[in-house]
Chains A and B, each alone.
Chain A
Amino acid sequence: MEVTQQNSNQQLNNAGAKELEQLFTTHFAGLYTYAYTILKDSHLAEEMVQEVFVKLYERAQHIRITTSLESYLYRSVYNESLNHQKHQKAKANYRKFILHRQNPAAPLPDASNYLELEAKLQLALEELPEQCRTIFQLSRFEELKYREIAERLGLSIKTVENQLSKALRIMRKRLKGFIVVGILLLMNHPTP
């Protein structure tokens, strides 16, 4: 997992198939996970990452990356996913309506607490601004240290500290009350 920051722009300009492959395979897991936490669909998440790399490939000459390559990739995946989500929301509402008409059966009842907590967490994450969310993402799902996050995104460690603190503060605010009750319920009524 190493892409040196100083030659990232050059790397793009000379992006041959091999370089593109390396860039893609190095960052795929993290970017895919990011898109997945936003969209909750593995196919879509993969498509978002592909889209970002298609754009990167097509515009390699024209993109001037002022921060770090990783920060650019994460921001692109975030934007791509949110755009898609916005676009799909109208469609999804319609689809839900159709699905409900075809299949009025409710989901398994014992899954509801689990799903509800997940949905709440999801909503709480949506409250976070892009940079804050990206930092949370790297810390939570890629389990990187503060220093590693700072290096990858070209930020100071202080910024990482501040943003992570902010992320958890916002999430707690959103989940207050629910998190305690929700988890207690889960512990008392484990799914079969």
Chain B
Amino acid sequence: MKLIFNQYTNILLVKYLLGETTPEESEEVRRWIAADPGHKSYADDLQKIWKESRRLAPPEPVDAFAAWQRFEQSGKIPVTAGNGTKQVRIEKLKKIYPWRAVAAAVLLLAAGICSWWTLTRKETGKEEVAALSIKSQSTVRTDILPDGSRVTLNKFSSLVLPGKWGRASRVARLTGEAFFQVVHEPSRPFTVEIGSVIIRDAGTSFNVRSVNGTTVVIVEDGAIVVTDSALSVKAAAGEKVVITAGHGGITKTTAGDKLYQYYRTKKFVCHKTPLPEFVAALNEAYGVRVVLHGDAFRNLLLTTTFDNDDLNSILSVVTRTFGLVAERKGNLIILKQS
């Protein structure tokens, strides 16, 4: 079938499709469509393409303010977190000469080698270390700190050790989530700062996660002291401390399930875990969007362990356990009651 129409018709047709035509133009388009079945099928094609292309959009609404906060906290721009009124000066860059660029590159390389060297060495002879920053992107990473302590950063998290780290104390600033296995030294306590929350250890391993102003610390071994402003609480192995920013409240409970370990162990250990919590962990671990459609999901409690299973088999167990169905739409997976 040969379609005889020109550039003008196509422009008009698209305008019509997007509701941009004047009444006269609309009339013209309708006449054109009615004139030939080929015209109609062409117009239908365009409409279908327009309609279907919608599915390429992100599956969930975008929260620009939350995104800004993440950007601010990412440390990529020198803006003081939470203090939007502070002016930041943009310094004028001087003209860069080629030899300067070479010198800078050499310096950077040297700095890189130094930090790599200090990071990977288990023991440091010298106490003084320059400021270090460890950052994870889309994968979980484990590093050994200069004092031999081990840290596992979940995705998109960062740990900053200020200059002179380790001389009298060991203070690390965290954003995101990390698991620490601390080498205990009473003379230099290990401290993790996350926002206003300060966690001091006494030879322990513990997990810290901070999302949207809520910090959760779970102790696996030993004991810690968690402080926020004037409040302070001591927690031991198997205990969980929750601090909510702004409320100034600290609550301590028993840790419950071991779901939080998944990013480190590749195991999902659920013990009476509400389904929405498990799904949130799945989404984070697999970078997918599983959503629950309907309500009463909080009452669905899951007790099982998935050890390095792939997403499809995990979903198949979940759907069979609770009698749900999984529906895929692009990279969105919807779970609902069957």
Residues A168 and B46 in contact, CB atoms below 8 Å apart: yes
| B-side contacts of A179, CB under 8 Å | 45, 48-49, 52
Establish whether residues B79 and A20, one from each chain, have CB atoms under 8 Å apart when the complex forms. Answer: yes
Contact B62 A102 (CB under 8 A): no
Among candidates B52, B313, B325, residue contacting A105 with C-beta atoms closer than 8 Å = B313
A96 within 8 A of B: no
In A58-99, the 8 Å CB interface with B consists of 58-62
Query: Is the Cβ of B71 less than 8 Å from the Cβ of A117?
Result: no
- C-beta contact mask, A115-130 vs B, less than 8 Å → 1, else 0? 1011001101100000
Find A40's partner among B11, B83, B313, B331 (CB 8 Å cutoff). B331
A183's partner among B52, B85, B90 (CB-CB below 8 A) is B52
Q: Which residues of A contact B236 (CB under 8 A)?
A: none
B77 part of interface (Cβ distance < 8 Å): yes
Contact B53 A17 (CB under 8 A): no
Within 8 A of A (CB), among B311-333: 312-313, 325-331
Say yes or no: is B310 at the interface (Cβ < 8 Å to chain A): yes
B88 interface residue per 8 A CB criterion: yes
Q: Give the complex CA separation of A4 and B88 in angstroms.
A: 22
Find the residue from B54, B71, B313 having the highest chain A CB count within 10 A.
B71
Q: Is the CB of A192 within 8 A of B327?
A: yes
In the complex, chain A residues whose CB is within 8 Å of the CB of B80: 17
Asked if B58 and A103 sit within 8 Å, CB to CB, the answer is no
Tell me whether B54 and A140 are in contact (CB under 8 A). Answer: yes
Selected interface stretch from B14-22, B117-125, B238-246: B14-22
How far apart are B299's CB and chain A's nearest CB, in angstroms? 24
* Chain B CB within 8 A of A6 CB: no
Q: Report the separation of the CA atoms of residues A44 and B83 in the bound assembly, to the nearest whole angstrom.
A: 26
Q: Give the shortest distance, in Å, between A73 (CB) and chain B (any CB).
A: 13
- Chain A: CB-nearest residue to B17: A168
Instruction: Judge whether A155 is part of the interface by a CB distance below 8 angstroms.
Output: no
Q: Are A28 and B62 in contact (CB under 8 A)?
A: yes
In the bound complex, residues from chain B placing their C-beta under 8 Å from that of A176 are 45
Q: Map CB proximity to A onto B164-181 as digits: 1 under 8 Å, 0 otherwise.
A: 000000000000000000
Nearest-Cβ distance from residue B163 to partner chain A, whole angstroms: 23
Provided the pairs A43-B138, A117-B52 are in contact, do residues A61 and B65 lie with their beta carbons within 8 angstroms? no
A177 (CB) vs chain B CBs: closest residue: B45
* Chain B residues closer than 8 Å to A37, beta-carbon distance: 56-57
State the CA gap A110–B312 with chains docked (Å): 13
Is A9 an interface residue, CB under 8 A from the partner?
A: no
Check if B46 sits within 8 Å of A172, measured CB to CB. Answer: yes
Residue of B nearest to A125 (CB): B56
Do residues A192 and B49 form an inter-chain contact, with CB atoms below 8 A? no
A105, B316: Cα distance in complex, Å: 12
A15 touches B55 (CB 8 A): no
* 18 cross-chain CB contacts under 8 A: A15-B88, A16-B87, A24-B67, A24-B68, A37-B57, A41-B287, A42-B289, A46-B67, A60-B90, A61-B90, A108-B326, A110-B328, A140-B54, A145-B20, A165-B11, A179-B45, A191-B328, A191-B329
What 8 pairs across the A-B complex have the smallest Cβ distances? A111-B328, A28-B64, A103-B310, A165-B11, A25-B64, A29-B62, A16-B87, A36-B58
Besides A25-B67, A161-B11, 16 new A-B residue pairs in contact (Cβ under 8 A), listed by A number? A20-B79, A28-B68, A43-B138, A46-B67, A50-B71, A61-B90, A121-B49, A121-B56, A140-B53, A140-B54, A141-B57, A168-B49, A175-B49, A179-B52, A180-B48, A192-B325
